[in-house]
């Protein structure tokens, strides 16, 4: 290194919760067209696929509902 102060160039990565990461992952799949409009998203399947518990998935789905990207229907 040249002795430059890297803090002027780089900043630490943003600290995000697991629910935020799950939300981003699902949002990107929806906006990227990898999840079709109207496709049923099951909490249990999403959790298993993303290798997380159902809690962060539940939080993500509620956030995406607030954003208008998913609608929630109870069984």
Residue 3: pLDDT over 70: no
Residue ranges making up the domain that contains 54 = 17-31+42-75
Residue 61 lies inside a defined structural domain of this protein: yes
Residue 12 lies inside a defined structural domain of this protein: no
Residues 6+ apart with CB under 8 A from 26: 35, 41, 46, 60, 61, 64
Residue 74 lies inside a defined structural domain of this protein: yes
Q: Which CATH number belongs to the domain containing residue 62 in this structure? A: 1.10.10
Residue 64 lies inside a defined structural domain of this protein: yes
The total number of structural domains that make up the chain:
1
Residue 37 lies inside a defined structural domain of this protein: no
Q: How far apart are CA 53 and CA 43, in angstroms?
A: 9
Residue 11 lies inside a defined structural domain of this protein: no
Nearest CA to 30 out of 16, 41, 42, 19 is that of: 41
Nearest CA to 43 out of 30, 25, 61, 67 is that of: 61
**pTM of the predicted protein model:** 0.79
Residue 1 lies inside a defined structural domain of this protein: no
pLDDT digits (tens, 9 = 90+) for 41-66: 999 999 999 999 999 999 999 999 99
pLDDT band at residue 20 under the 50/70/90 scheme: very high
Nearest CA to 30 out of 71, 73, 60, 69 is that of: 69
Q: Would you say 29 and 35 are in contact if contact means Cβ atoms under 8 Å apart?
A: yes
């Amino acid at each position: 290194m040249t002795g430059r102060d890297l803090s002027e160039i780089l900043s630490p990565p943003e600290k995000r919760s697991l629910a935020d990461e799950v939300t981003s992952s699902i949002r990107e799949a929806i906006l990227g067209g990898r999840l079709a409009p109207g496709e049923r998203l099951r909490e249990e399947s999403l959790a298993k696929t993303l290798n997380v518990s159902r809690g962060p998935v539940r939080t993500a789905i509620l956030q995406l509902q607030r954003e208008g990207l998913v609608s929630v229907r109870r069984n």
